[in-house]
């Protein structure tokens, strides 16, 4: 995996060039996540289909440098923009984002509409005031939960020792930075900005996920929005339904190729 200096930070990047005419950029989630979640699920089959793949660890995650500050969405958007510039990607890309990665995809599309061919968001929503309220609550609860030592015993007992290790890493990541404070600050998008996203958007949701209160609210306002719901599924769609998500992504990119 090459290491690049992106927007001033040492950044872990995974490139799988396929010599194709389309490029997919995978954007992982926050906390316990890293580019590994896509590398182990979607990246290899997408590249095997002849699509160039770019994955990278977001700032503060995985093997990418972890500054104390600098976790607003403007920072994440600037990182992605600089990465694509340095890689000389001169054609619009397909952004595939999981959880917070999808939120980043929406913000990037608003800031750089000419750079985005399409978006696939997995259990994600744009950075509106509604999102900021949810994120503030989720992150505050996470910080409190991970400050209690018994929480790690509960995680191992209910999930696995691997999940305990991931939780340990997430606790260190969150408590050693201003991530939990800065991420909900945005900059936030207005609903008018969201409704003006002109590229095709596929929203993949679990019926019991974070948007369970109104699954169609987001896609109904997007000019080219489409929705796929996994019934009975919670937030962990990518991990638990990766084969089905893979097929959705491959068909989506094929449909929306240049």
> 10 Å Cβ neighbour count for 251?
11
pLDDT, tens only, 195-233:
999 999 999 999 999 888 889 999 999 999 999 999 999
Q: How far from 242 is each of 204, 209, 227, 238, CA to CA, in Å?
A: 12, 16, 17, 5
- Find the range with the poorest average confidence among 49-63, 103-117, 120-134, 155-169: 155-169
Which pLDDT value is given to residue 142?
A: 82
pLDDT at 153: 84
Tell me whether residue 112 is in a domain. Answer: yes
Q: In what order do the strands lie in the sheet with 9-16?
A: 3-6, 9-16, 52-56, 23-27, 93-98, 116-122, 201-206, 225-230
With respect to residue 138, please indicate whether it lies within any of the assigned structural domains.
Answer: no
CATH number for the domain harbouring residue 57: 3.40.50.1820
pLDDT at 3: 94
Query: Over pLDDT 90: what percentage of the chain?
Result: 73
* Residue span of the structural domain in which 107 resides: 3-127+186-255
What pLDDT, on the 0 to 100 scale, is given for residue 32?
A: 76
Between CA 51 and CA 48 the distance in angstroms is 7
SS3 for 228?
Answer: strand
Q: Would the pLDDT of 97 be above 70?
A: yes
Tens of pLDDT along 3-19? 999 999 999 999 998 88
Q: What is the DSSP letter of 201?
A: E
Residue 175 resides in a domain? no
Give the separation between CA 151 and CA 138, rounded to whole angstroms.
16
**How many domains are there within the chain?**
1
Q: Is residue 241 part of a domain?
A: yes
Q: Could you tell me if 59 and 179 are in contact, meaning their C-beta atoms sit under 8 angstroms apart?
A: no
- Residue 121: closest CA among 231, 249, 217: 249
Give me the chain's average pLDDT, please: 93
**pLDDT (0 to 100) of residue 238:** 92
Say what the pTM is: 0.93
Does residue 82 belong to any structural domain of this protein?
yes
At 19-78, the pLDDT tens digits run 889 999 999 999 878 898 898 889 999 999 999 999 999 999 999 999 999 999 999 999
| Interval 105-132 mean pLDDT | 98
pLDDT band at 164 (very low <50, low <70, confident <90, very high): confident
Please say whether the beta carbons of 84 and 167 come within 8 A: no
Residue 117: helix, strand or coil by DSSP? strand
Q: What is the pLDDT of residue 184?
A: 95
Mean pLDDT of 158-179: 83
Question: End-to-end distance of the chain based on CA atoms, in angstroms?
Answer: 29
Strand positions, DSSP E, 7-59: 9-16, 23-27, 52-56
Signed CA dihedral, 162, 229, 210, 84: sign only = positive
Residue pair 141/174 in contact (Cβ under 8 Å)? The answer is no
pLDDT given for residue 1 in this prediction: 60
CB-based contact 234:209 (threshold 8 Å): yes
- Average confidence (pLDDT) over 150-174: 82
The residue among 184, 195, 71, 168 whose CA lies nearest residue 136 is: 184
């Amino acid at each position: 995996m090459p290491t690049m200096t992106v927007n001033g930070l040492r950044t872990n990047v995974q490139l799988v060039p396929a010599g194709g005419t389309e490029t997919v950029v995978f954007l992982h989630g926050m906390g316990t996540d890293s580019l590994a979640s896509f590398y182990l699920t979607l990246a290899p089959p997408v590249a095997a289909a002849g699509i160039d793949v770019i994955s990278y660890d977001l700032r503060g995650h995985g093997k990418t440098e972890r500054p104390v500050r600098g976790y607003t969405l403007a920072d994440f958007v600037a990182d992605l923009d600089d990465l694509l510039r340095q890689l000389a990607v001169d054609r619009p890309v397909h952004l595939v984002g999981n959880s917070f990665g999808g939120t980043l995809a929406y913000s990037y599309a608003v800031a750089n509409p000419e750079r985005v061919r399409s978006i696939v968001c997995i259990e994600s929503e744009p950075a509106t005031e509604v999102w900021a309220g949810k994120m503030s609550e989720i992150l505050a609860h996470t910080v409190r939960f991970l400050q209690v030592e018994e929480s790690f015993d509960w995680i191992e007992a209910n999930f696995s020792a691997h999940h305990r290790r991931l939780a340990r890493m997430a606790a260190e990541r969150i408590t050693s930075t201003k991530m939990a404070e800065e991420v909900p600050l945005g900059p936030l998008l207005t609903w008018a900005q969201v409704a003006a996203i002109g590229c095709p958007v596929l929203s993949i949701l679990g019926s019991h996920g974070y948007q369970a209160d109104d699954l169609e609210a987001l896609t109904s306002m997007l000019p080219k929005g489409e929705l796929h719901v996994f019934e009975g599924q919670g937030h962990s769609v990518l991990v638990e339904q990766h084969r089905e998500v893979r097929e959705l992504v491959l068909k989506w990119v094929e449909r929306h190729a240049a």
